[in-house]
Structure 1
Amino acid sequence: MPNVVGSTWAHAAATPEAVALRAGGDVWSYARLRDASAAFGGELRARGVRAGDRVLLVAPTGPDFVVAYLGAHLIGAVVITMNTMATAPEIDYVVGDSGTRLLVVWHEAQRAAQRVADERALPLRVLGPEAVAGEGEPVSVPVDRDRQDTAVLLYTSGTTGRPKGVELTVANVLDTARTFVEQLHLTAGDRCGTGLPLFHVFGQAACLNSALAAGCSISLLSPFEPVAMLEMIRRDRLTLVAGVPTMWNAMLHVAGDFGPDDFADLRLASSGGASLPGEVLSAFSERFGCTILEGYGLTESTAAATYSSPDQQRVGSVGRPLPGIAVEVRDPEGAVLPAGEVGEVYLRGPSVMKGYWNRPEETAADLADGWLQTGDLGRLDGDGYLYIVDRAKDLIIRGGYNVYPREVEEVLYQHPDIVEVAVIGVPDERYGEEVAAVITARPGAEIAPEELRAWAKEQLSAYKVPHLIRFVDALPKGATGKIQKRALDWKALTTASG
């Protein structure tokens, strides 16, 4: 029977000295990773954790996260991962909702978690320098698990209500890793790398687990910083790197002499988490000589749904369905729409979640007949390529006309002085909603709003052109670097701008 750590244990037995992890100057072989995880699993067992118990892991991207993550899976625990910036109330909610048995926390994030552990009389294990496993006998054999057992419990961001725990099964995790190994043509000789947080589904399921399944190495950077990321690619001679659009954009705007010669080994960059502006894609390829391939997935689909291929890439598309995944686009009544028409995206396949933890009604609503209702708007072309138009909740209806923010953003990104942009809808008495753009400009650049609107009108219908424009030093971003539109307070921006 399977276990999430099975491939890591197999590689440690077959090629013990092969590199599994790199973090700066720290290099971990597969044997070292196995032994550390076995010791940590032994400590968890000595603390009373058993198969099926929930263990909360709050740690940044790095070897400590990986050791604790694998150690918990080794003994059959359900791993819950959270952002290291989580507050005490946020942690308390997840602990209470999930029935967490033990908290494992990075030392720099201890204060908030310690408060929760003390109030709930739960044990807390602190991770940090020299904090090695000190109790129990190392676990040498992974616990057998059923494929439909819950392996990971990831809580959604809660932008539309209280966070829900997404149950991803052993099968979800293993099948997704195998799918990405095949899709990316990963071999033991590859050297992967990412600056993504491993507590997020993209970094965890698509990056970490896929690399360990393939038996290759993965270089880890935390926190993400564009120069450090470029230096890691060059230093570790990475063959594949993964990130989100804001990361590629940040690297693109780094000054210096980074270029194709520095990244001769880099064969592929994998992007997800948000739509990638076509202008960023082409500019990145031109500067660094590397193709960025887009994919699409959600926490509820273990980060896997569609993916592009190097020989059949279509700008603006997130690719075709991954093996075993079915994609449909439906109208509000649930009828399947023909190619070319925009509707809500539905998914079905081996990567789709088991359900929401202890929420049968919400599970039934979002997972009817095995089809996951994503909340994303998209269209399929005649060849089955998916184009994500926007989040259904981000759609702007101006004077009865539908405005898709992503389409407007794609155009604005073509402006030479715009670095980042978020297009949102703002309540308006006349039109119902007005199109607004919040922009980060190139350092030293001065963009006159009226000139920008005139420029945009040459490429967009008049009702799509942002009537409201504000400039900011930086846009709010989440843990993965994804722009957080819901964190934009238009009234505050208007007041701040005078």
Structure 2
Amino acid sequence: MVNAVQNIWRHADANPDHVALRVDRRSWSYGELRAHARNAARELAGRGVTRGDRVLIMLPTSAEFVFVYHGVLALGAVAVTVNTLCTPREIDYFHSDAECVLAVGCPDTRDALLASSDRPAWIVEPDSLVAARTPVDNAMTYVEADPVDAAVLLYTSGTTGSPKGAVLTHGNLLACGRSLSQIQGLEPEDRVGTALPLFHVFGQASVMASVQHAGAALSLLRPFDAVQMLDMAVSHRLTMMAGVPTMWNEMLHADTPITADDLPDLRYFLTGGAPLPHAVRIEFETRFGARVLDGYGLSETTGAATGQPLAEEPKEGSVGRAVPGCQLAILGADHQPVPAGEIGEVAVQGPNVMREYWNRPDATAAVQSGPWFLTGDLGRMDEDGDLWIVGRLKELIIRGGYNVYPAEVEDVLYRHPAVVECAVIGIPDERLGEEVAAVLVLQPGHDLDVAQVRTWLGERLASYKVPRVYHLRDALPKGSTGKILKRAIDVDDVAQHGIRTRRSDSTKATA
């Protein structure tokens, strides 16, 4: 029998004064973290929450989130963590679909949560759970759960149909923390910082669960700001930072004098959520002096599927190998493994894979093939087991019968000195079926000769992969973690207003 909070309890017993959590200039030890989680559990129990109940949590990344979340898990209840920007309609859907008995929010989310008068809600006031240094009370421990019992419901983005709740178990969360802390070499002396939202699997499981498995310290920043993130790395003497590619890119272009000399303790940058362009990786490592470790995971794999082995030099573009306890495969259309080096669908099996989609047996069956979870991502794997992600099955561009993988084109575009951000998409084309289009954000003050860019790309990519359409934007749409949302890009707008090139074109665009 287990519980996903057991690592906090274990470290609170063994080393109660060791720092577990930092937010700004405040910190809480493992003993205090356990005590505050117990306080939250008592409050939840007083409001009728019992084992197996679902509790909707609509709290920002904060100490309050950490305490309430672990209070829910300690009771054996299920945390349904959602974006604080959700509208009343979205909250109604999550609350109804998960059959929640209580919603927990804060003053900023009060109005949205209370829009439905029949929804029981607990509004956590600032510092209400953390103002006092609560003495450690051994009278209350956690509920013993089965490893397959639900601990968290994480709703997927719902790009097709209504969002689905991925059921992550107590065993999933513990396996994630164990495997990632092992592959990252996390120790109790480590200090890990992030601005990732904790309602999302990356911040909640990949970062927080692995830090707690090791008994290390977690520093939180909200909202993300490139300068403030680097300032936190200096003031908290971080040894690791976790984020997504857009965060690293913004830090590279931040107006700050901080360099590697100011970060003597920093060893690793943990990146995931989307492919990290090689050019950004090299420039980031050069400027800030720490190694970038790439990884790959989904909500359905508790945020953990691969990681970079510390003892080896990473292979360019690879997201590493299967984390301890997991297995990977590249499957063809017949769901059989393909030879090393060939592209197919990435499949995962192991203790990190979700139990099911909540109340969706058909959707669950659709992502299973024997023991394998089908990710919907396209990738290739070499004979050493190193994995490269080349795109989503649904993002694959088929141009005149040729397969174009957007991630490959984007990686090359990021090496162009005028490009800050980019997204490569397919747009309808009467002759070819689809045409390759690049949506670009330029460095301030830069102009772009798209014919020159096309020639530049042609020297680095096969001709059928080179975009023929270029569309400039001031910014690209992003999700809550900072990941670029291609589905939010208006394909018709790109097709109508993008600059179309031919070999004889000489057209300049200005940021």
Q: What interval of TM-score do these two structures reach, taking the shorter chain for normalisation?
A: over 0.9
**1:284 Cα deviation (Å)?**
0.7
Structure 2 counterpart of 1:350? 351
Structure 2 counterpart of 1:185? 185
Deviations 1:382-418 (A, max 9, x none): 1111111111110001111111111111111110110
**1:91 Cα deviation (Å)?**
1.1
Deviations 1:345-386 (A, max 9, x none): 111111011011111111112123231010000011111111
Whether the 8 Å CA contact 2:469–2:498 is kept in 1: the answer is: no
Q: How many residues align?
A: 493
Structure 2 counterpart of 1:124? 121
Whether the 8 Å CA contact 2:184–2:310 is kept in 1: the answer is: no
Whether the 8 Å CA contact 1:440–1:471 is kept in 2: the answer is: yes
Whether the 8 Å CA contact 1:191–1:219 is kept in 2: the answer is: yes
| Separation in structure 2 between the aligned mates of residue 138 and residue 130 of structure 1, nearest angstrom | 23
Structure 2 counterpart of 1:248? 248
Structure 2 counterpart of 1:320? 321
Whether the 8 Å CA contact 2:54–2:77 is kept in 1: the answer is: yes
Whether the 8 Å CA contact 1:396–1:435 is kept in 2: the answer is: yes
Moved more, 393-402 or 3-12: 3-12
Structure 1 counterpart of 2:367? 366
Structure 1 counterpart of 2:37? 37
Structure 2 counterpart of 1:290? 290
Deviations 1:38-80 (A, max 9, x none): 1110011011110000001011111010011011111111001
Whether the 8 Å CA contact 1:53–1:101 is kept in 2: the answer is: yes
CA-atom RMSD in angstroms: 1.7
| Separation in structure 1 between the aligned mates of residue 303 and residue 424 of structure 2, nearest angstrom | 25
Pairs within 5 Å for 1:350-429 = 350-429=351-430
Deviations 1:16-50 (A, max 9, x none): 22111111111112222111111110011011110
Whether the 8 Å CA contact 2:335–2:369 is kept in 1: the answer is: no
Whether the 8 Å CA contact 1:106–1:127 is kept in 2: the answer is: yes
Q: Which residue identity lines up with residue 317 of structure 1 in the other structure?
A: S
Structure 2 counterpart of 1:266? 266
Structure 2 counterpart of 1:235? 235
Q: TM-score, normalised by structure 1?
A: 0.96
**1:133 Cα deviation (Å)?**
9.2
**1:200 Cα deviation (Å)?**
0.4
Structure 1 counterpart of 2:502? none
**1:490 Cα deviation (Å)?**
3.0
Whether the 8 Å CA contact 2:227–2:256 is kept in 1: the answer is: no
The alpha-carbon distance between structure 1 residues 133 and 24, as it changes in their structure 2 partners (threshold 3 A), is closer
SS of the equivalent of 1:206 reads helix
1:221 aligned onto 2:218: no
The alpha-carbon distance between structure 1 residues 5 and 338, as it changes in their structure 2 partners (threshold 3 A), is same
Q: Which residue identity lines up with residue 16 of structure 2 in the other structure?
A: P
**1:454 Cα deviation (Å)?**
1.9
**1:310 Cα deviation (Å)?**
2.9
Q: TM-score, normalised by structure 2?
A: 0.94
SS of the equivalent of 2:21 reads strand
Structure 1 counterpart of 2:80? 80
**1:138 Cα deviation (Å)?**
9.6
| Separation in structure 1 between the aligned mates of residue 159 and residue 292 of structure 2, nearest angstrom | 29
Instruction: Return 5+ residue gaps in structure 2 as ranges.
Output: 132-136, 500-511
Structure 2 counterpart of 1:486? 487
Pairs within 5 Å for 1:302-313 = 302-312=302-312, 313=314
Q: Which residue identity lines up with residue 128 of structure 1 in the other structure?
A: E
Structure 2 counterpart of 1:92? 92
Off by >4 Å, runs of 4+ in structure 1: 493-498
Whether the 8 Å CA contact 2:154–2:299 is kept in 1: the answer is: yes
Pairs within 5 Å for 1:13-28 = 13-28=13-28
Instruction: Return 5+ residue gaps in structure 1 as ranges.
Output: none
1:463 aligned onto 2:460: no
1:52 aligned onto 2:55: no
Whether the 8 Å CA contact 1:39–1:138 is kept in 2: the answer is: no
The alpha-carbon distance between structure 1 residues 491 and 56, as it changes in their structure 2 partners (threshold 3 A), is same
Structure 1 counterpart of 2:104? 104
Deviations 1:159-214 (A, max 9, x none): 12211110111100111111112111111111111110110001000111111221
**1:215 Cα deviation (Å)?**
1.2
Q: Which residue identity lines up with residue 264 of structure 2 in the other structure?
A: A
**1:127 Cα deviation (Å)?**
2.1
1:7 aligned onto 2:7: yes
Whether the 8 Å CA contact 1:40–1:133 is kept in 2: the answer is: no
SS of the equivalent of 2:276 reads coil
Structure 2 counterpart of 1:147? 147
| Separation in structure 2 between the aligned mates of residue 367 and residue 287 of structure 1, nearest angstrom | 43
SS of the equivalent of 1:269 reads strand
The alpha-carbon distance between structure 1 residues 197 and 460, as it changes in their structure 2 partners (threshold 3 A), is same
| Separation in structure 1 between the aligned mates of residue 238 and residue 115 of structure 2, nearest angstrom | 41
The alpha-carbon distance between structure 1 residues 453 and 204, as it changes in their structure 2 partners (threshold 3 A), is same
**1:459 Cα deviation (Å)?**
1.2
Q: Which residue identity lines up with residue 404 of structure 2 in the other structure?
A: V
Whether the 8 Å CA contact 1:39–1:139 is kept in 2: the answer is: no
Structure 1 counterpart of 2:65? 65
| Separation in structure 2 between the aligned mates of residue 302 and residue 373 of structure 1, nearest angstrom | 14
Deviations 1:202-229 (A, max 9, x none): 1000111111221111000111111111
The alpha-carbon distance between structure 1 residues 132 and 252, as it changes in their structure 2 partners (threshold 3 A), is same
| Separation in structure 2 between the aligned mates of residue 60 and residue 344 of structure 1, nearest angstrom | 35
**1:132 Cα deviation (Å)?**
3.7
SS of the equivalent of 1:296 reads coil
Structure 2 counterpart of 1:435? 436
**1:496 Cα deviation (Å)?**
7.0
| Separation in structure 1 between the aligned mates of residue 275 and residue 324 of structure 2, nearest angstrom | 21
| Separation in structure 1 between the aligned mates of residue 85 and residue 102 of structure 2, nearest angstrom | 19
| Separation in structure 2 between the aligned mates of residue 380 and residue 87 of structure 1, nearest angstrom | 41
Q: Which residue identity lines up with residue 273 of structure 2 in the other structure?
A: G
Q: Percent identity?
A: 48
SS of the equivalent of 2:448 reads coil
